Each structure stands twice: as structure tokens, then as C-alpha cells.
Amino acid sequence: MHTAPASRARMLALPIALIVLAVIAWLPLLDTLSAGYVDAGFKRSATTFAVARSLNAGISFLQSTTVNVSIPLLGSGGSIAPGELLDPLNDMVEDFSNIMLFITAAFALQKLLLVMGASSLLPLLLSAGAALVAACAWQGWRVPRPLLSALLVLLMARFGLPLAAIGSDLAWSRFMQQDYSNATQALDRGAHQVDSLRSQMSAAKPAAEQERSTFDRIMRGLHEAGEVLSSPLQSAKQLYETLRSQADQWVNHMIHLIVYFLMQALLIPLLLFWAMARTLRMAFAAAKADAR
């Protein structure tokens, strides 16, 4: 069935737009930009995950470290584990590393989908669909609704994720990059600080002394009994004070990094993807109204 001249004129906008999009679909520029942005996000999340795992390993070692208590005069002793004070912090670091692993996997999935969308099949199907719509408009025929629905899916598959990746990276560069750099540098310094403390505790050895007589041993024991008893508590206090001053900042940085990465890897791409789908659906709904 042929349409009126006014309706035919309105329908020319759709095939022209589809032809332009089909031509753009063959160009590699969009794929190159989006792939570069996704690769950069993957590297950032993988680096942050590595820092989190290093921090988690260091704190776990400190947790497992025990301090021996021995009183030579009495011939008795025991051990305590001052690193258990760090258990809440280590739980937070472990949860953070798990979230970063999930975000890294999300970037890897985006990369795979971009590779699939960059294949020649989608541009070929889009070109064929645009040609069919142009033929219908040229002949004054109504565009079949199934064809419009198929074109909507093809356009989202070809342009949705690349545009979402580019948009999310622009938001990252504009609003989150500086805070990300500060947070990761602080966590990296914290990981090195924990490793340094771990090395110090691993290298610490109790000094062995050789007593010359029973009297010397007794007098030495009386003199050092208080120090020997307080030494583990002092070690625990030192360990706690060393890390407590940094722990609140580490937790704050980890929370901010979780928010930033979730926004870049998931929330912003999904929001842009939805906005694009909504816009195309409205444009195609207008075309379907003309096709009635």
C-alpha cells in the first residue's frame, strides 16, 4: 500500500539516518576508541586488585605472627598473637579485593563484547536493513514493524556498548581520575609499609645470652622479668599504633575506589545504554506510527 506524499516525506528521515549509521558502523574509529578506554579501565582495576591482594597478604601474615613470652628465671612462658587486632581491617581489605576482582572481570567481559560487536556481521546486517528501509521509503511503502524491531536490536548491539564505554571513560577522566590516583597511591604506600613491617618481624630474633653462673642467671632474670613480660604487649601496641593511624584512611580510600569503579564499569555504561535504547525506541515508535 502506498502512503500519502506528506507521510512519504516524513519517512525519508529514517532511511537517511539509518544509511548514515550503517556507514559509521563500518568505520573502526569507534571500536578503537572504546577498546582503548576499556583496556585502560581493565589495567586500572587489575592494578588496584594487585595492591589489595598485596595488602591482604601482608596483614594476614601479621595476624599469624605470634610473640613468645618466656621468663628464664621461672622457666615458663607462652605466646600471644598481637596481629589479631588487625582482623577487622583485614576483612575489609579482603572484601575490597573480591570486589576489584569482580570489576576486573566486568571489564574483561566488556572487552569481549566489543570484539564481538566489531565483527563485520553487524555492519553488514545494518547495511542490508538500511537498504530495505530506503527501498520502502523510495517506493512509498510502509516499513514492516519486524524490520524496525530488528534494526533497533542491531543498532544497540553495534553502537550501545562502544558509546557507553566512551561516555563512562569521559566521566571517569572528568570527575574520578584524580581521586583514583590519590587513593591507589595511598594504598600502595600502605602495602609497602605492611611489607616492611612484616620483614622486620620476620627478621627479629631473640638475642641468646649465655649466663656464666647461677647467681648471674638469677640476677639477670630478676632484672629482665618485667621487660620480658611487657615486651609482647609493647610489640602489640607498636603494631596497632603503626597501622591504626593509616587504617581509617585506607578504609576511606577503598570505599571511594569501590564507588568509582562500580560507576565506571557498571552504573554509567548501563545508564548510557538505557538512554540510547530509550532514544532509539522513541525514534522508531514515530517511524512505526508513520507506517500505519
Identify which of 176, 151, 159, 196 has the alpha carbon closest to the alpha carbon of residue 267: 176
Cα separation, 73 vs 59, whole angstroms: 34
- Residue 141 has what DSSP assignment? B
Q: In the chain, where are the structural domains located?
A: 5-200+216-291
114-145 per-position pLDDT tens digit: 998 888 899 999 999 999 988 887 877 787 88
Cα separation, 247 vs 264, whole angstroms: 26
Cα separation, 85 vs 105, whole angstroms: 32
Place of cell 589489595: 52
Whether 220 and 209 have beta carbons less than 8 Å apart is answered as: yes
Length reported for the chain: 292
150-192 per-position pLDDT tens digit: 999 999 999 999 999 999 999 999 999 999 999 999 888 888 8
Cα separation, 125 vs 176, whole angstroms: 38
Residue 151's CB is within 10 A of a number of other CB atoms, namely 25
pLDDT at 287 over 50: yes
185-235 per-position pLDDT tens digit: 988 888 887 777 777 666 554 444 444 444 454 445 444 444 444 454 555
